[in-house]
Structure 1
């Protein structure tokens, strides 16, 4: 069934024999075996690499971790067979991937034939198809950027934030896209590095604010009172004139400052300067909200929460994505909820993509979420249609219903 070459690294003779026998039952072409890391490494050096290694971790002499580090060029994939605590085994799986070895999974102990078969069937890499070489990406120059701004080619795309219990839209995050003639709709990954390089972040923000505030005013007149969030780079806080520009735009469009939130990416270091802190305070004095984005992965998260006047934090999507596979993620989310509540700030869950994640977040007590399960970023007209159809107004029960189907999705 599995015509590959395997290695069993196990210091317990009986358990090693069981593993070897199971691999033979599953049709493995050749099975090598060793009682410790040093013996296994010498075996591989003499006989060549293996496709899969079933590896114990705790052994006398060279343990499994040291063996994998020294033998990574001889091993294609690894299945862990260990009695270590689950949290340690999960960390070891991350180490295996960092070593450039394919982590097939954790079989635990005692080894079960069906579990081993499932790991081999579901996780062994398929032959990679031959793909054409990707075209070299042509980055825009400064002239192209100014031309794009002059023609209003930088447009807002909106991704909603929803009340997890009711499905009601709480607000939207305003994201930049470049509708460039002859190039199509370009994502931020193409143009943002160049925007930053040429110091045009403030110009882009002004463009997005002008478009977003015009839409927000129209929606307010129609009875939709939504918060609009804009990304703000830490370096922009050094420009005191930016605050005056924001004030002028809010006054011109007649939108309350309390309906505007500025999201500061937590992975970007905020300078400890009087100008930066003054900018943050002025935004709060105006009534604007301040959000710390990607909370939990950047610089000094807790220190920032103590020192800076945030009203919201967005927990990085990584914690939601690992919610079902990583039990500690639930504990992190619960603790962050308690922290947010004690500080009197809103917690937004990013990256919600499945109904299972939605259900678990609701059970944990999360109230606001954002992600592809609810809606992808969309253009202004598509968002207005989406909002008008009321397809967002669904309950937590509807999201948990396995027979409920998405009626409408904008990519």
Structure 2
């Protein structure tokens, strides 16, 4: 059996289980295998032998438990990747996986108990062929100055990009979400993370929104001339919604373009609506009176979803992409998606599932009764010209 040039630490308090894990790793040809009976021993061992590539980690044990150990190594960067090996219930292990991710550690997999050599070997191969990148800190967006972002707005460098929403059964495009991208003259295309926080701090969100809407409504008219009816969805922040001038400006824009409100959707994250002031609610009602659709975005990622759905006049639920990512191996996520679809039907609201990237996910969602989705399986965000060409080619993702 070919070996793995990997240093592995086994953290397991049960002596037989620890012996079994060490034996399997050595049989699989790991270059160095270390063992510890609790977290404190493991930390002391790492001080002696240095960092390891993988920690094969139990969770519940006497002394320092596996969770505390992971917290410590998340700070010291002495472990590259983590494999969970625990008999705790699936829901507890799922929560620990979230913690591992938040700690900046790479999660390789969950082998459960009893330990299986084939499963362990597959994860070692995964680590070997896709080395962890977590040891390098994530890139920090470059600091952008206010005068630079203002010049970019004036020069038209902040451009709308369009990501389709599609019918999961037929592949037909049902609409697009309008996203901001900075076409920087020297740095290339920058994502919103590089500039949106500054735009919000400088009070420039509305300037960006209305510039996007001008271009998107012109594009919508071009798309209509090609025989496509395309709803345009724009993201709104809570601060914008609290502005008395928002709805009147949108109404004036629609009038100037001879466009209908029914062709627009405004997406709002539920986290921004925890305490919607009176002005915000009035703006939502006025947008609905104009015929616009309202979507609650990243549904399931906040804390007041059901209350917001009952109080505010939403017409669409956008389910957070995290549910789709866990769809294959998390029965609870399947149940959450099915329940959201049922809730949408009961409230007469459409449901859009975000983050669909594979054909397997599409098929699973169809079986659950989902109709509309969004994600890289259909298309990535694209410029207006690219969208026109894409639609002209009648590109179908089903």
Normalised to the residue count of structure 1, the TM-score between the two structures is 0.84
1:374 corresponds to which residue? 378
Counterpart of 1:246?
A: 250
CA RMSD in angstroms comes to 3.1
Task: For 1:289-300, list aligned pairs within 5 A.
Answer: 289-300=293-304
Q: Residues of 1 paired with 2:180 and 2:132: CA distance?
A: 38
Instruction: Give the count of matched residue pairs.
Output: 392
The reply on whether 1:165 has 2:169 as its aligned counterpart is yes
The alignment partner of 1:173 has SS state of: strand
Q: 2:58 aligns with which of 48, 56, 59?
A: 56
Gap change, CA 1:109 and 1:216, over 3 Å in 2: same
Find the counterpart in structure 2 of residue 403 from structure 1. Answer: none
The aligned residue for residue 174 of structure 1 is 178
| CA 1:57–1:311: 2 relative to 1, 3 Å | same
Among residues 123, 132, 140, which one is paired with 1:119 in the alignment? 123
Aligned to 1:387: 391
Is 2:230 the partner of 1:226?
yes
DSSP-derived class of the 2:276 partner: coil
Q: Which residue of 2 aligns with 1:409?
A: none
1:261 to partner: Cα distance: 0.9
2:38–2:61 contact (8 Å) kept in structure 1:
yes
Change in 2 beyond 3 A, CA 1:152/1:339 = same
**Residues 212, 51 of structure 1: alpha-carbon distance in 2 compared, 3 angstrom cutoff:** closer
Q: How does 1:66-145 map to 2 (within 5 A)?
A: 66-69=68-71, 73=76, 75-99=79-103, 101-124=105-128, 126=131, 137=142, 139-142=144-147, 144-145=148-149
Q: For residues 190 and 5 of structure 2, what CA distance do their matches in structure 1 show?
A: 45
- 8 Å Cα contact 2:38/2:64 also seen in 1: yes
| In structure 2, C-alpha distance between the alignment counterparts of 1:217 and 1:357, rounded to whole Å | 33
Counterpart Cα distance in 2 of 1:46 and 1:129: 22
Shift of 1:60: 4.5
1:346 aligned residue: 350
Match of 2:213 in 1: 209
Cα displacement string for residues 206-263 of structure 1 (whole angstroms, at most 9, x for unaligned residues): 1111221222233334432221111111111222222111111111211111111111
| Among candidates 327, 330, 335, match of residue 331 of structure 2 | 327
TM-score normalised per structure 2: 0.86
Note the alpha carbon deviations across 1:41-91, whole angstroms, 9 max, x for none.
666667666554433334455544345446665655443332222232232
Query: 1:130–1:85: structure 2 CA closer, same or farther, 3 Å change rule?
Result: closer
Q: CA deviation at 1:159?
A: 1.3
- Deviation per CA, 1:173-213: give whole Å up to 9, x if none: 12223445555444333332232222122222211112212
Q: Once the 2 structures are TM-superposed, how far is the Cα of residue 374 of structure 1 from its aligned partner?
A: 0.7
Quick check: which has more Rg, 1 or 2?
1
Report the CA distance shift for 1:252/1:289 in structure 2 as closer, same or farther (over 3 A). Answer: same
Q: CA separation in 2, counterparts of 1:46 and 1:134?
A: 31
SS in 2 for 1:213: helix
| Contact 1:161–1:172, Cα closer than 8 Å, also in 2 | yes
Gaps of 5+ in 1: 400-411
